[in-house]
Structure 1
Amino acid sequence: MARSQAQDVIRCQYCEDEPAVFHCVPCGDELCPRCKVFHLKSKVASGHNIVRLSERLHPTNQIKMCEVHSSKAYEACCEDCQVPVCITCIQEVHGKHAIGKIQDLFEKQKTKTENELSKMKTQYKSKIIQRIKDFKNGESEIKTSHKDIRQTMKKQAQDFIDHIRAILKESLDESSKNETEKLIEISQYTAEAERFEQNLDQLIEKFETLTESSHPADLILYRKRNHDIFKRLKFPEKINLTMPSFKIGQLSKSQNEHQFGKFTSGHISSLKSSDGSLQVKDLSGSASVKPSTKKELRRSVKLSVIKTQIRELYHVSCRDERSAYISGDGLGIQLKDKSGTELDNISTDGQPFGLAVMQDGSLIYSDYDNKVIYRVSPNKQTTTLINTEDSPSGLCCTRLGDILVCMCLFNTAKVVKYSSSGRKIQEFETDQNRRRLFFYPTFVCDNINEDICVSDWSMNKNVVVLTKSGNLRFKYDGKVQAGRFKFDPYGLATDSLGHILIANNANNAIHLISQDGDFLSCILTENDGIALPHGISVDTHDNLWLVEYKNACVKVYQHLF
């Protein structure tokens, strides 16, 4: 192609003198009007398609090579297949098909495409613009929403911190107040003892004078006038000290004691003399009355009766002060609140022989037949926590987070302590003298002083209480008065004062004993309408939950104030 150096003019490819005006599409030559005539006379297989030079770049005037036969150009279209074809395509594939012009098929497709193009421009374009706008608005809303939430979280966190500080102050104040009260209380005992000592010293001095340096008649007359001197001389009472405790709570927004912890007051209780007197007299005959304790027993008050469809009830374990897990004859464990509403129902492969709630809120239960302790997490995932060597029955979670399990198999009877992860820590089978502790341990619980309390359902029918190291502290046989009580201990629980509560199935009663094994009272009996009490549990508010074996109901009582 020849071009002028002075002007940007396309010259005729043949004469090179005249400007080119035409373009031959098949040949690709630029032609002036005179050379166009001679060019049309030349023979080419595809023929000539002469267009004006200005139209040569239009797509319809360009040569498109076949995708299948790259050396051949598209020359027609197959109307049956709706595709462009070259000569070779027609010969090899489309020979029997209807063949038409590319331009005709192009015009049809162009009309259809233009309609679709119009729809895309008018409808789709506006819709996608609006959609993008919506998305961007959504992004803005998300950012704003999260910003507001983070501000709310920060405020809530600050409120929670302030709340915790208030709980801490209240708990510290309560501890300080309790310390002051107890120091005043014990100082009164100390003053009485010191007064007794002073009077005793005076009496000793008097007796020494009468026996060593006085006239014999003086001693005789003094003894005559004071023949009851030792009857009036009453030794001061001993006291039983229970140290205050602090129960670590779970983080929960439901109640303060779960958020931070619950302060449990220590107390001072007098050990009564044989005649029941609580008086301390000095030699002059004046009496001093022991100050009352902070918490006193009163008649139990029924709070709720919860009906169930379970034929025979065996076990109950409080989740909190509002609800408890229960189980009985057959499979499954129910979670019910005080109103009787069923909050959850947990399926089990075997019948549960013991229930307990861990510090993280998980439920654990024992499968006696399969020798397994299962754990049901708060999200209801059931896993095997412990594969036991012997058959597990009653169990509990201690205040320190460990697990105590009663084990029985043939002649083996023991209580085993595990960590919360299922690692065996300690076994309790014999006492410090290598004597057998249990015959058939069925229920177990711990006390505020870390004692281990076990209901031994056997020929002896005792409640066995051990120290945390496994030494025997005492056994309680329920014989508080000769011939009055039959004793068949089942469920056990302890309250915040260290009392041990025992379900006496044989006599339809709940025994209350001190942490040292002294009988205090029967807080519930047949006269209160209970029958065949089996499992019992004390919630975080010191309310007693008990299940009755045959009545298919759970009863809730308040026994402390």
Structure 2
Amino acid sequence: MATTSNEQAAGQHYLVCGIQDCQKNGQFYCNDCHQPMCEQCKEEHRKSPNNKNHDLVLYRQRKHRLSIEKCKLHPMKNVDIFCKECKTLLCLKCFIMKEHKGHEIDYLEDIYAEKYALWQGEFSKIQKYFLPTSEGLKTDIEEDVSEIKNIMENIRTSMKAEAESLKNLVDEVTSEKIEHTHTMEKSLLKMLKSQETTYDNYITYLEEMSDKFQEYLSTTNQKLLSSDILKIQSVPETSKPVPPVFTLGQFNRDDVAKLLGRLNIPNTEPEKRKIQPMEAVSTPMKFTEKQMEQSKEKSDMKQTLSLSSSVTKVREYSVPGVSSAHHVLVDISCRLWVSDWEGNLVQTDLQGKQLQKIQTSGGSDGYHTPTQGGGLIYTDKIKKVIYRITQDRRITEFIKTGDWKPVSVHSSRINGDILVGMREAKVTRYNKAGKEIQNIQRDNQEQELYKYPHYITENINGDICTSDYNKRAVVVVNKSGQHRFFYTGQGSEFCPWGICTDVLGHILVCDSVSDTVHLLDQDGGFLSFILSEQQGIEFPRGVCVDDENNLYVGQHDTNTVTVYKYLQ
């Protein structure tokens, strides 16, 4: 459709009045004259007797002008009437002809305006609903593609680790069996050696007997007759050894496949993607429904939550199998993972029942973290390896850190990345598949950021927050690794331990000098000593916040984990 000069003007800062020499904003429209007008010109136009019946409306409510079409029967007249009964277009002269007498008619301009409004509505639906909804679903599919790739890569990694474990086990069993063959061979050879000695002795005996016979045979007949006949001992009996027989293992390809696990698609009905109903659309959508719901939940939570005027103790847990609670975390199943300085790592339910216990080489560091998939990963700084524990409690090697000793680890809730604090000293980011993607060591002035980052976490804005034991500071960098700030406490001495963040972006960190928990804002500003001896805390070491905004605190020299409410 061609664009009129007035419609082109609408793309400017404002629509210009169509009355001669008037340059004001043409916010009104005369549907009879088909001209935009400013408010003053509209009033002047209305005052004229010739225009008293003209339809003056806001510009956006205007009727769009019909394109000029000449009547085929009366070429000097324009077609502007539609006969409903004959279904034909007419000019005024056609309409007064007898064949259309009494017929019901519509003015084309009214029909056009109605159709235009209808098509405009449909066009609006495309722009405000169908396109954004489809784009949102496409984005959802792209996210699923990425997720499927990550899942399959993780499966492949697990398969390789499983195969490597089986190879190691096969090598170990084979070595044992080969060693057993050496033992059996040694025993059989010893028996044969004994038999060989027996025949050596017998041969010596026969040689001696042969000499005697020769002696007797060389004497006189009288002496030979008077001597007794020498009796020869019988040949010693020995047994042939029974060699072992090797029976081939009774296994086939399927048996090996079973040992290495199975890969299949769960027999569940695929979940249909949610399509937001059109009635709920009032503004163009820019996010998928899932993203909008998550954003709304977080926004609502931030609007309703605030720091409480007091901290309230909610409950306590005694964790069996640990002597202290230096690192405390809650996984997606609402189960506790607690470790002590002796390397005991214990999982319990919320009734305090021990579910599993692992002996590690870890100590007073934040060396374990739950993952998005419901498992757990932990570091071994001696072997320089990060291990993964699946939900079915299998332990596999996940990441080798080369020459670096991993002392702390955190699994991102934002994207599933693995953040690792290394001794001598850096922070490394791995993706969910264990691929190294970022190293953070120095600031913009090439100064070292870390010395011993023994606890690590991530804030809601992607900031990486570490407790550095040797630097005596909380070190915070943004997600790109750019240094943001150091926090060095509120007194002459500060020694940070466990660290975590909450839904409002607060940073909570334990201080072993003042035996308090410090509460900081997102930019490192000190807000308060949120926990101290007044709340029954003596030696705080480990902290975490669960999805219901409960604060868990573990202490040195006791296996008790205490839970507090500090947001309302």
TM-score by length of 2: 0.47
TM-score by length of 1: 0.48
If asked which structure has higher relative contact order (CA below 8 Å, sep 6+), I would say: 2
